[in-house]
Amino acid sequence: MTNSELIAAARTSKAWPFEEARKIAKRYPQGRPDGQPVLFETGYGPSGLPHIGTFQEVLRTTLVRRAYEALTGGAPTRLVAFSDDMDGLRKVPDNIPNRALLEAHLGKPLSRIPDPFGKFESFAHHNNAMLREFLDRFGFDYEFVSASDRYNSGAFDDALKNVLRNYGAIMDVMLPTLRAERAATYSPVLPVSPTSGAVLQEPIEVVDAEAGIIRFMDDGQSIEQSILGGQAKLQWKVDWAMRWVALGVDYEMCGKDLTDSLTQSGKIARILGGQRPEGLIYELFLDERGEKISKSKGNGLTIEEWLRYGSAESLGFYLFREPKSAKQLHVGIIPRAVDEYWQFREKIPQQPLDQQLGNPVWHLLRATGNADDDGHGDALPVTYGLLLNLVGVLGPHASHAQVWSYLGNYIHDPDPADHPALNALIDAALAYNRDFVAPTLKRRAPDANEAAALAALDEELAATSDDATAEELQTMIYEIGKDPHYGFESLRDWFRALYETLLGAPQGPRMGSFIALYGIANTRKLIADALEG
């Protein structure tokens, strides 16, 4: 594949990262005219620990960034992960220790509150460190930028003066969007109290825009104070617009819940002499009941939970698909995401270029710095679904080594070092089975025609060589199910009977593959137990 071939294919690809990249390319066909990198930004509010929402935004933005680089033949880009750590703490999160410590500092900027974990100089510094560790774990290429550093160092001072110069025009944008009660006290600028250190929600009067001086009430006292050097921060929508202009942000996506904010911040950016970045509005996550994910409800799924039961690649794959559609986010989706990731990965070497660009894994490999990985030699010899069926039969106390002993039936000369992805998934499957599958498994006794069919299968297996292939075993099972003697209305009924009587579940794997993996002798014992029960 040549660079010109890639550019030509990228110009017509229907994959959403290329559709987003073409928006940026309308502004900058070959990169920014000033020679500076095109700037992509993601935002993070460190009032809580990093979560899947943080991951998905960095991942999806990186996908667009890499697509833009491919589309332009390598125009320079940057990705900034911005932490809004000057925000005042409004509520103490439920999942942290030493809650009383934080409660004593409510209202203060997150970077000026002690770390309840006792490891860093502030709560924000702790969460920022977690964010960076979190992003580094996935191999993202990014630059970390802290709001506190920018405000405190004076890097935002000129931008803050610009807000004061345009105070009236900004109020004209914001006031019509607010309820009367809120409008009466609204201010685009939030001063930091010189006495309490809290971020104040008080109306202000601009005293001297060029000097950055404002007047406001603080605990009954009229205060004149500079907003420069970390003595104030901006209200959210104004802050977002100021940041776009001050940093020169060219692309930033956001959730559907920020649609109105995006509109108003875009108007404010124009007032400040800049423009709203290009971006994607993505749909939000839902739980297994179709309800919105809420941190306070705890009905979401954490990164740690996904990685306990699946893989980082499968999470990326799941988040790649259809960002403009709401997604359910619960443990039940993990096994399918794992297997679909590998199905798409194995397709890459055989696909023509235009199909590769529509393959989620092509994009994911580039997002994590593996653009030279074309998928050759990569395959998962046992699907995650089949692995789960195996450990389901072995029981909740099965061990890693025990699973590998059965994989020897299926993989020639098995060595965990030769199959690192599969080796990692074994622990995930054991955990998933122990926590979610084993408590639900319940084998039922076969009825008369099912028992006759199982006995016939046992007889066939007894006469079958141990090295029979999965396809040969599958054909054998098909023939029994199609035999009118056993009275199955369809093969589906026969397979359901196999799953429910042998595995204890309403659905399952290709039985030929399962028998090849579990072993003929072990399968015959399952059949014997079913017939005796």
pLDDT (tens digit, 9 = 90+) per residue, 137-183? 888 999 999 999 999 999 999 999 999 999 999 999 999 999 999 99
DSSP run (H or E) holding 214: strand 213-218
* Residues 282, 453: Cα–Cα separation, whole Å: 51
* Residues 295, 127: Cα–Cα separation, whole Å: 16
* Residues 181, 262: Cα–Cα separation, whole Å: 23
β pairing state of 232-234 and 254-255: unpaired
Averaged confidence pLDDT in the chain: 92
Q: Among 61-75, 123-137, 177-191, 482-496, where is mean pLDDT lowest?
A: 123-137
Query: Is 490 exposed, middle or buried (CB count within 10 Å of its CB: 0-12, 13-18, 19+)?
Result: exposed
pLDDT at 149: 96
- CA 289 vs CA 328, 436, 529: distances in Å: 8, 17, 37
* Residues 85, 9: Cα–Cα separation, whole Å: 41
* Residues 378, 384: Cα–Cα separation, whole Å: 15
pLDDT at 48: 76
Is residue 374 scored above 60 in pLDDT? no
pLDDT at 373: 62
* Mean pLDDT computed over 86-96: 86
Q: Residue 290 CB: number of other CB atoms within 10 A?
A: 8
Rg (CA), the chain: 29
pLDDT at 9: 95
Is residue 186 scored above 90 in pLDDT? yes
* Mean pLDDT computed over 431-440: 94
pLDDT at 378: 64
Pair 64, 251: CB distance under 8 Å: yes
Q: What percent of the chain has pLDDT over 70?
A: 97
**φ and ψ at residue 161, rounded to 5 degrees:** -60, -35
Q: Report DSSP state, residue 36.
A: P
Confidence class for position 371, pLDDT limits 50, 70, 90: low
Q: What is the largest CA-CA distance in the chain?
A: 95
Is residue 95 scored above 90 in pLDDT? no
Confidence class for position 298, pLDDT limits 50, 70, 90: low
* Residues 275, 245: Cα–Cα separation, whole Å: 7
Q: 382-418, pLDDT tens digit by residue?
A: 999 999 999 999 999 999 999 999 998 888 878 899 9
Q: 246-291, pLDDT tens digit by residue?
A: 999 999 999 999 999 999 999 999 999 999 999 999 998 887 777 7
Is residue 435 scored above 70 in pLDDT? yes
Name which of 114, 77, 74 is nearest 96 in CA terms.
114
